[in-house]
Amino acid sequence: MAKYLVIVESPHKAKTISKILGKDFHVKASVGHVRDLPRNKLGVNVRKNFEPLYEILKEKEPIVKELKEAADEAEQVYLAPDPDREGEAIAWHLSEILELPNKKVHRIEFNEITKNAILAAIKSPRKIDKRLVDAQQARRVLDRLVGYKISPLLWRKVNGRSAGRVQSVAVRLICEREAEIESFDAKEYWSIKAELSRSRSKQAFIAPLYKYDGKRVIAASEKSAANTMIIDSEKAANKILKAIESEEFKVSSLTEKTSQRQPSPPFITSTLQREASTALGYAVKKTMQVAQTLYEGVELGAAGATGLITYMRTDSTRVAESAQEEALEYIKNRYGKEYCPDKPRVYTRKAKNVQDAHEAIRPTSPENSPESIKQYLSNDQFKLYKLIWERFMASQMSAAELLTRTAEISAGDAVFRASATETKFAGFTIVYNRPTKSAVSETESENAEDGEMSGETQSLPELSKGEALKLKDIKPNQHFTQPPPRFSEASLVKTLEEEGIGRPSTYAATVTTIVDRKYVERVNKTLVPTKLGKAVNLLLVEHFSGIVDVTFTRDMEQKLDMIEEDQVDWHGMLKEFYQPFGETLKKAEENMNKVIILSDQQCPACGEQMAIRSSRFGQFLGCIKYPECTTKIALTKEGTPVPEDRPSEEKCTTCGADMLIRYGRYGDYLACSKEECTEQRPILKLTGVKCPRAECGGDIVEKKSRRGKIFYGCSMYSKNQCTSAYWYPPVISGGPNNSNKCPSCGTMLIYKTLKRGDQIACSNKECTFAQPITGEEKHA
């Protein structure tokens, strides 16, 4: 029997750590929180100094029983939830529930799940940090007070689903951005570009108009000054063209400037979420889910289960000295000594609310390069790990050295400017060549405007001062200033972080909540407020302006940090908040008017308009004449009316009647048209290709994963557990020998859409056949 019990949060983490510690240790998982505030009442005794009334979660009762039995039998118990406030609170709750003597219970923490880190943690246990626990309790009680008091009011007045201290501020930011976009007044402006070349050369380059009549030409979005000008109309642009049409274009100045491009710091939670969104198209929630698997451990063949990255909920860019030494040794051996900086890089952050308890997000070992362990990772794991590994290694490398050559070309009162930048020493860019500052928005067009005025990346021929150039073409281009971009998930996280709202552990949950509550919807990867979201926001801003205020929320985060630092008493902080909040709540209950959110639908029974309403099952349309008219129309997940049953060509296998296409919780499905018959089955989208398993006999059909991603699998899965499944569509015809079979092993071919070019490949993972497409292939 094991002598020691280690309790972690996740079963997967438990599995990895168990293999490290061996048979003397029994590693079990609490599967997250085991105790919390009750779900069906406030659970906070406001009159008794805001005492929280915790209870064991019903679904966790069997787990708690198991943990108690294991703890009673163990000589020592090590509590090892995540190394943050939430993890500290879970450890404290476990210690309270297990009711063990203090000398038997130990708190351990580790920033990475590797053998060295786990063994070091076991050797240096500590007591539970009550300051961290109090900070988490204060946040939990504060969120419960705000949510539990405001949410019922929203239900009564606007059919809103809920309010939250952080989520409501996020919705406000999105609504205010949408209002800015709707009220934006676009301004016209023009740019002029000359296409030039040397007199006897075919190599042309583009030079935008830089100055005219001694004034610098700027875009309408730039701030004007005394020595600047905006070309605000086609007439003004043509006037300049006419003035210089007969002028000679001569090189008036040539300059060269050397510069360095420094690497970005290693990732913190928010920058990882932004970069994964920009580079990989991942939603914030997906990024954290994939990162969690990399942190908790992946089976690496003979090496066993290994944690590949450090803890992924952090706002610190600090790197352990030992990790820096390993990285520099790897860089020197693989790339050369010149790629190591003169001294190790140190990254610090100036934000006030940074907690430096954890390191930045980095690989646990540089030796585990992405390519060397690719075979053990899923596609998503590989992409995210590659991003983390490359960003960290680059952060420890030398700067890139650049040379920028700029030519100014005069033509009368006009000066055109062309620049070209070349890399003299690649430095860190040989590993990670993404923009130094992560792009955050898919729709930010200000950069495009600036590009119009300053010129594009190009090569510049060798020029001489005073040299006359050949004008190949010159033309004006019309532009309009663009409204501020809508928030993407990534840019919203960036703003929340910059404003000091929330913590690394809350960003993903905040975004998920406001989408799930139907306050915000995703449109082309941007976040757009719904009618419900706008209505709720208007009410909250009008009646709870202090609660949904950015400054207030930031100040509360700082007070939570002060509780953690033992500078503020958490009970006192709650008392200070609650008294004015109670008064505001009372006024809102008296003065808040009921808001009806009208839809575009007419009531089929009485002809009046239908309103968007909410229930615990989701949104629906209800007649505004209720209770006189009780007509209701269910809505799909997309917010459109549920379609009526439609005929299909399928027959019921039970009674032979026609099957109907019916909409359900997960979309369309087939149901028997006879009321007394209960047969239902999914709608299969056939590809025309049979399952490659000879003994199966099923068809390959198009399916959707639980997360909505399309894949292709066998139709016989539910009947004989055939597990044939592919992320890419099967080839129907046009492959080698006009077949859809692999010429090497005879298995089904699939059509892969890749960045480096589409190809057809064998669906058998053990076969290496793959070739570029010819254009003759047809696929599902």
Q: How many residues does the chain have?
A: 780
Cα pseudo-dihedral 496, 501, 507, 510, rounded to 10 = -100
d(CA 685, CA 66): 45
Residue pLDDT, tens place only, 237-265: 999 999 999 999 999 999 999 999 999 99
Instruction: Indicate if the pLDDT at residue 451 is higher than 60.
Output: no
Amino acid at 120: A
At residue 739, the pLDDT reads: 80
At residue 740, the pLDDT reads: 83
Structure tokens at 112: 């990475």
Residues contacting 147, CB < 8 A, separation 6+: 162, 163, 164, 165
Instruction: Indicate if the pLDDT at residue 742 is higher than 80.
Output: yes
The mean pLDDT value for 201-209 works out to 93
At residue 142, the pLDDT reads: 94
- For residue 61, how many other CB atoms are within 10 A of its CB? 11
Three-class secondary structure of residue 551 per DSSP: helix
Amino acid at 373: I
Instruction: Indicate if the pLDDT at residue 450 is higher than 50.
Output: no
Please state, in angstroms and as integers, the Cα–Cα distance from residue 639 to each residue in 487, 516, 519, 521, 643, following that order: 21, 12, 12, 10, 12
State the average pLDDT for the chain.
89
Three-class secondary structure of residue 410 per DSSP: strand
Instruction: Indicate if the pLDDT at residue 92 is higher than 90.
Output: yes
Encode burial over 188-214: b for 16+ CB neighbours within 10 A, e otherwise. Answer: ebbbbbbebebeeeeebbebbbbbbee
Least confident of 70-79, 145-154, 169-178, 464-473: 145-154
Structure tokens at 358: 């954890």
The mean pLDDT value for 554-569 works out to 92
d(CA 766, CA 116): 35
Tell me the whole-structure pTM to 2 decimals. 0.77
Residue pLDDT, tens place only, 363-381: 999 999 999 999 999 999 9
H, E, C per residue of 628-665: CCCCEEEECCCCCECCCCEEEEEECCCCCCEEEEEEEC
pLDDT band, very low/low/confident/very high, at 720 (cuts 50, 70, 90)? low
Amino acid at 635: L
DSSP 232-281: -SHHHHHHHHHHHTT--EEEEEEEEEEEEEPPPPPB-HHHHHHHHHHHH-
Instruction: Indicate if the pLDDT at residue 437 is higher than 90.
Output: no
Please state, in angstroms and as integers, the Cα–Cα distance from residue 738 to each residue in 598, 733, 761, following that order: 57, 6, 14
Task: Return the active site residues.
Answer: 311
pLDDT band, very low/low/confident/very high, at 452 (cuts 50, 70, 90)? very low
At residue 72, the pLDDT reads: 93
The mean pLDDT value for 612-616 works out to 78
At residue 755, the pLDDT reads: 58
